[in-house]
């Protein structure tokens, strides 16, 4: 969404605290893990090679690809792989749409897998600094990390604006120290500045065979968090994110990586922990404390992105309803989802307990990030060519550059599958299965409803010929298809044998855009003296609210007072058929769908309908 100029400074500071925590804490472990993964000697050419590769990955992937290009692919200020998927779907054929949808779902699932790993590896890497002070503290690392992570997830309910306001100044201090430490070490050994020459990175990558290829899988740790720039754009806007990166984050990261390299040139034995060994002994404990806070903040980027992504998945019909709380009245993109928050916490705790250390987690880290990057590049290619109408030469050139890095990093990370890379792939595969099962199951339910339902026009004609008893009051029937008779209305007529004075068939539609213009929000059709059809449209980044719908109805002359209105909802109970009917889901998918359906948030809580105004009419559906 567009931001006023006067709000750029505070939004930039807040974005610094939310968006860049992940990529901003990568210096804690990237260079160390690069040498561990490659098993190469810590000598001058290898140091220059790794630092050069990291530097140019930051420049070409994060700066060129994401900050300068991908952030342009917003939709009403919203970003993320799901937004990109929706834009791409508008410019491909039906057959191509299937593959675009699968790419978008896979990218979204990998991002959620990344959201489970990032908090664990970030906090563990900071707490591990205690072993530099005293190796005997090693057995305290996991318990301390778990306490920190639990506290982080507990404060999510306060909202990203308040968290970002608190985190922003801390990250400003963090990046300032990264730059100062880097400048100090560079001044001691300016020879490291040769790493700015891409020759050293290319030479390293082409002259060390298998070792350099393995090392690339760790170099990618320097750019994990890049996807969060795009996913979190709806929280702060494009300009604050770009200003924060170019003005503070990029210079600080480049200086720090070069500073670590400069120190290693004279002290190769410091490779055990080059980040913390870059500071004098008197500054070690304060830096560990600040690093711990910074890694807590690092986790916020993917957590905020996970909320946005799951909201989009729910609105587009790929995930069951979950409670969504808006934490800022002025910024609609700032939300908190309790179910997602606690599920993430559970998975993060499991990751910490399974992997125990940042080095073990480094094997699992990277696949999720690079996989999402590949899917983003492929869909962004379609947007550049079909939506923006850029020339084929420009599109092919940019896509080739992006994919060269993306696929190289992805392929090197695939080697990590046996040693931990299986985890994000398992999570992503499970999430894609859940997303597609829910979407298919809902489509099947809608098809069964259409087969068993009456045409609305037929009912209106029948009621005109044989009018039932009319009672005072308003009845709102929530319907998926506004042209067939809702089951709740049929049950009311059959069992209660009455018709309300005003009957509203309310259909809430989700568009393929993040937001809907005010003039296109509501459509009111008076069908006869007793029936009104109301269609409310919301973007996939918006959360419908029944009070808002009634307010808009009053503006169009349809007065529905909440305490004079009853809401009739159809509630299905899914039962398993003895034999799977033709064109239905298989038994496993049916069982999963039934479980998701039972545990999804009720329409009452999702649409914020007062409990004492709801009447539910139940029925059974065989799947």
391 vs 612: which has the higher pLDDT:
391
For residues 371 and 111, what is the distance between their CA atoms, to the nearest angstrom?
9
Name, in order, each residue with C-beta under 8 angstroms of 477's C-beta and a sequence gap of 6 or more. 486, 488, 489, 503, 504, 505, 506, 568
509 vs 165: which has the higher pLDDT:
509
Q: Mean of the pLDDT values across residues 290-306?
A: 80
Whether the per-residue pLDDT at 333 is higher than 80: the answer is no
Query: What is the sign, positive or negative, of the torsion defined by CA atoms of 381, 384, 389, 391?
Result: negative
Rounded to 10 degrees, the C-alpha dihedral 81/86/91/93 comes to 100
Q: How far is CA 24 from CA 55, 201, 263, 406, 603, in A?
A: 14, 22, 20, 20, 40
The answer to whether 124 and 357 have CB atoms below 8 angstroms apart is yes
CA angle, residues 90, 94, 98, in degrees to nearest 5: 90
The answer to whether 476 and 504 have CB atoms below 8 angstroms apart is yes
582 vs 431: which has the higher pLDDT:
431
For residues 376 and 488, what is the distance between their CA atoms, to the nearest angstrom?
43
365 vs 437: which has the higher pLDDT:
437
Per DSSP, 496 falls in state I
Per DSSP, 269 falls in state G
Give the Cβ contact number of residue 449 at 10 Å.
Answer: 19
302 vs 386: which has the higher pLDDT:
386
Q: Can you give the pLDDT at residue 4?
A: 47
List strands edge to edge, sheet with 498-510.
522-526, 531-538, 498-510, 469-478, 565-575, 614-622
For residues 404 and 409, what is the distance between their CA atoms, to the nearest angstrom?
9
User: Closest Cα partner for 132 from 45, 32, 4, 40?
Assistant: 32
Q: Mean of the pLDDT values across residues 249-262?
A: 96
Query: What is the sign, positive or negative, of the torsion defined by CA atoms of 558, 560, 566, 567?
Result: positive
Query: Which tokens hold the place of 497?
Result: 């044998």
- End-to-end Cα, the chain, rounded Å: 42
Mean pLDDT of the chain: 86
377 vs 581: which has the higher pLDDT:
377
513: left (phi over 0), alpha (psi -120 to 50) or beta: beta
620 vs 106: which has the higher pLDDT:
106
- pLDDT tens-digit readout, 47-65: 999 999 999 999 999 999 9
Q: What is the CA radius of gyration of the chain?
A: 27
Q: Which helix (H) or strand (E) holds 13?
A: helix 8-18
Per DSSP, 1 falls in state -
For residues 354 and 533, what is the distance between their CA atoms, to the nearest angstrom?
54
């Amino acid at each position: 969404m567009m931001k006023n100029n006067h709000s750029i400074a505070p939004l930039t500071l807040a974005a610094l605290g939310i968006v860049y925590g992940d990529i901003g804490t990568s210096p804690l472990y990237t260079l160390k893990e690069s040498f561990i993964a490659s098993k190469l000697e810590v000598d001058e050419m290898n140091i220059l090679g790794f630092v050069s590769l990291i530097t140019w990955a930051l420049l070409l992937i994060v700066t060129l690809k994401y900050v300068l290009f991908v952030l342009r692919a917003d939709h009403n200020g919203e970003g993320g792989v799901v937004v990109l998927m929706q834009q791409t779907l508008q410019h491909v054929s039906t057959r191509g749409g299937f593959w675009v949808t699968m790419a978008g779902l896979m990218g979204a699932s990998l991002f959620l897998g990344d959201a489970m790993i990032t908090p664990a590896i970030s906090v563990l890497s900071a707490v591990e600094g205690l072993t530099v002070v005293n190796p005997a503290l090693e057995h305290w690392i996991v318990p301390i990390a778990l306490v920190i992570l639990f506290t982080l997830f507990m404060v999510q309910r306060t909202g990203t604006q308040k968290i970002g306001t608190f985190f922003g100044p801390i990250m400003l201090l963090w990046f300032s120290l990264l730059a100062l430490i880097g400048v100090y070490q560079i001044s001691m050994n300016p020879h490291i500045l040769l790493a700015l020459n891409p020759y050293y990175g290319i030479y390293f990558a082409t002259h060390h065979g298998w070792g350099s290829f393995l090392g690339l899988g760790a170099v990618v740790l320097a750019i994990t968090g890049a996807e969060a720039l795009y996913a979190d754009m709806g929280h702060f806007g494009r300009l604050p994110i770009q200003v924060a990166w170019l003005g503070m984050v990029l210079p600080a990261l480049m200086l720090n990586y070069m500073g670590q390299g400069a120190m290693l040139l004279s002290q190769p034995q410091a490779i055990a922990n080059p980040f913390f060994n870059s500071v004098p002994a008197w500054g070690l404990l304060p830096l560990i404390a600040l690093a711990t806070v910074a890694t807590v903040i690092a986790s916020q980027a993917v957590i905020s992105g996970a909320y946005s992504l799951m909201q989009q998945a729910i609105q587009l019909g790929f995930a069951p309803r979950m409670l969504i709380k808006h934490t800022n009245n002025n910024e609609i993109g700032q939300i908190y989802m309790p179910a997602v928050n606690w599920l993430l916490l559970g998975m993060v705790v499991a990751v910490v307990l399974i992997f125990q250390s940042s080095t073990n987690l480094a094997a699992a880290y990277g696949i999720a990030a690079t996989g999402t990057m590949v899917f983003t590049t492929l869909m962004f290619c379609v947007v550049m060519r079909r939506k923006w109408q850029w020339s084929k030469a420009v599109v092919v050139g940019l896509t080739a550059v992006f994919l060269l890095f993306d696929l190289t990093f992805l392929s090197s990370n695939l080697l990590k599958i046996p040693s931990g890379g299986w985890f994000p792939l398992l999570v992503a595969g499970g999430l894609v299965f859940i997303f597609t099962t829910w979407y298919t199951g809902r489509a099947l339910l809608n098809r069964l409803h259409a087969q068993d339902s009456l045409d609305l026009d037929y009912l209106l004609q029948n009621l005109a010929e044989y009018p039932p008893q009319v009672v005072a009051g308003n009845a709102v029937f929530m319907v998926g298809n506004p042209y067939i008779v809702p089951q709740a209305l049929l049950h009311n007529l059959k069992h209660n044998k009455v018709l309300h004075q005003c009957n509203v068939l309310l259909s809430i539609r989700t568009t393929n855009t993040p937001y809907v213009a005010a003039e296109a929000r509501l459509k009111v059709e008076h069908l006869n003296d007793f029936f009104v059809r109301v269609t409310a449209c919301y973007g996939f980044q918006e959360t419908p609210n029944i009070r808002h719908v009634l307010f808009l109805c009053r503006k169009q002359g349809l007065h529905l007072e909440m305490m004079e209105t009853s809401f009739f909802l159809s509630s299905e109970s899914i039962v398993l058929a003895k034999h799977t009917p033709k064109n239905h889901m298989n038994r496993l998918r049916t069982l999963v769908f039934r479980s998701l359906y039972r545990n999804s948030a009720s329409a009452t809580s999702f649409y914020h309908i007062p409990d004492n105004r709801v009447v539910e009419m139940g029925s059974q559906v065989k799947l």
